[in-house]
């Protein structure tokens, strides 16, 4: 019995999303690192992976892209819908640096945080809680911008009360000529925001799945809990909520431009994001793999070089 046969057994069906094709995943993770830039038929002509060799370079590149979108829309007299993540985070200090150096005020920017921890009913942590995404955004981005910052009334956070207002607010801004730019990371289970792969089972068609604007109290995949335990909670998964409020495909894939980041390296030869990264680039559009649609959109995906692999057992 080979590895694929083992994974396709009952354990695989219990743990992994029903819509995942393990043979296709194996092909994704078996790619030669040298082929990482090879363009695929489903890639948008404006989509570009960008390799980074260290985390400061990674943060600076992403921060520069964010600042340029703010600058270009300002100069064009357009409003900017900025969909923002809390992870990755290193780009925010650089975005602040470039915005201040360029002297751009952000009065034309409308920030929409893509998600927030919650309970099953969508109730979120207090805004000033150290683990709250609202607090993280204020500390990392809105606060340090000082006088140039996004006006408070134009900052949106994914609370139970406010998330349902996102679609109408975004639609109104687009009617006024606003550009929608999404900044994102890729989850262990290939989620964008907290739109998890098992949600796909609820929808008969891609069209129905793509029409979903948000979800209150979304149930997170166990691997998502573990990923965040490793990256944000010093391994303590009991501290992590099992639910979150999140934007959905209608907002995610309604963006005009995307700035992505994959920085999931841990040092000493360890990493957690290589499989998710390669599935994003090679799997092909599929409702069970949320990030698989990212390459169909214009934008840049910055990634740490080690994620390209080879993704094989470390003999050292």
For the segment 204-218, the average pLDDT, to the nearest whole number, is 97
Mean pLDDT for the chain overall: 94
For the segment 308-312, the average pLDDT, to the nearest whole number, is 91
Residue 180 phi/psi, 5-degree rounding, is -105, 120
Task: Write out the DSSP string of 285-313.
Answer: SBTTBGGGGGGGSSEEEEEEGGGGS--S-
Task: Go through the domains of the chain in sequence order and give each one's CATH number.
Answer: 45-308 (3.40.50.1360)
- pLDDT confidence of residue 240: 86
CB 112 within 8 A of CB 84: yes
In the predicted model, is pLDDT for residue 10 greater than 90? no
- pLDDT confidence of residue 212: 98
Distance CA 34, CA 14 (A): 34
Distance CA 81, CA 70 (A): 10
99-117 as b/e, with b when 16 or more CB fall inside 10 Å? beeeebebebbbbbbbbbb
CB 54 within 8 A of CB 43: no
3-state secondary structure 259-276: EEEECCEEECCEECCHHH
pLDDT digits (tens, 9 = 90+) for 70-93: 999 999 999 999 999 999 999 999
259 closest CA partner among 119, 38, 51, 64: 64
Share of the chain above pLDDT 70, in %: 95
The number of angstroms, rounded, from the C-alpha of 108 to the middle of its chain's C-alpha atoms is 23
Secondary structure element (H or E) that encloses residue 180, with its range: strand 179-185
Range of weakest confidence among 5-14, 24-33, 134-143: 5-14
C-alpha atoms less than 13 angstroms from C-alpha of 305 in its C-beta half-sphere: 6
What six digits make up the tokens of 253? 């894939």
3-state secondary structure 125-166: CCCCCCCCHHHHHHHHHHCCCHHHCCCHHHEECCCCCCHHHH
What six digits make up the tokens of 155? 């900052």
């Amino acid at each position: 019995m080979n590895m694929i046969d083992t994974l396709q057994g009952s354990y695989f069906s219990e743990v992994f999303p029903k819509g995942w094709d393990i043979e296709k995943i194996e092909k994704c993770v078996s790619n030669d690192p040298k082929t990482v830039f090879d363009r695929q038929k489903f890639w948008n002509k404006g989509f570009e992976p960008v390799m980074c060799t260290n985390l400061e370079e990674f943060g600076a590149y992403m921060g520069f892209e964010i600042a340029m979108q703010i600058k270009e829309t300002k100069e064009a007299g357009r409003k900017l819908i900025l969909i923002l993540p809390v992870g990755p985070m290193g780009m925010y200090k650089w975005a602040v640096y470039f915005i201040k150096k360029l002297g751009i005020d952000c009065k034309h920017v409308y920030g929409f945080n893509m998600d927030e921890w919650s309970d099953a009913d969508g109730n979120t942590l207090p805004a000033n809680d150290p683990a709250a995404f609202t607090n993280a955004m204020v500390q990392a981005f809105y606060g340090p911008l000082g006088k140039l910052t996004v006006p408070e009334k134009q900052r949106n956070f994914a609370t139970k009360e406010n998330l349902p207002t996102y679609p109408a607010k975004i639609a109104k801004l687009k009617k006024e000529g606003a550009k929608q730019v999404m900044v994102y990371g890729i989850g262990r289970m290939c989620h964008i925001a907290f739109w998890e792969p098992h949600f796909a089972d609820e929808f008969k068609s891609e069209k129905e799945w793509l029409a979903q604007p948000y979800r209150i109290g979304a149930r997170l995949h166990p691997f998502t809990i573990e990923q965040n335990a490793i990256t944000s909670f010093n391994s303590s998964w009991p501290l992590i909520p099992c639910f979150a409020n999140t934007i959905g495909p209608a907002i995610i894939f309604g963006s005009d431009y995307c700035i992505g980041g994959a920085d999931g390296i841990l040092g000493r030869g360890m990493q957690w994001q290589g499989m998710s990264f390669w599935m994003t680039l090679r799997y092909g559009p599929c409702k069970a793999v949320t990030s698989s649609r990212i390459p169909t959109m214009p934008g840049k995906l910055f990634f740490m070089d080690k994620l390209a692999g080879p993704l094989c057992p470390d003999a050292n």
